[in-house]
Amino acid sequence: MSNVMPKSIKDYSLDELDALIDTIRERRLKSVRIYEESEKLRHLARIEGLEVQYDKQLEMFRKELERVDKHIDRLELRTLKLRAIRLEIEQ
């Protein structure tokens, strides 16, 4: 196995330096794209999680609203009964 020493940067031609810089830029851009895609997926996962929470809260709100409606109906009926009794008392 021969020991080949890597070329010193000072021995690179301008074209070789340009090629090296292009390679470094491409590798960096690839990493940036992976990072951005990962961030996008994380954001989507967070949004989906928030949507699930929102849907649950909205469903609980709907059920509570139905209960309030039933209580209001009972109160209105109770008010009618009280008015009827009051009318009988006043006669």
Across 1-5, 60-64, 66-70, 71-75, least confident range: 1-5
More confident position, 57 or 8: 57
Q: What is the mean pLDDT of the chain?
A: 92
Residue 2 has pLDDT above 70, yes or no: no
pTM of the model: 0.55
Query: Are the C-beta atoms of residues 20 and 12 closer than 8 Å to each other?
Result: yes
N-to-C CA span, the chain: 120
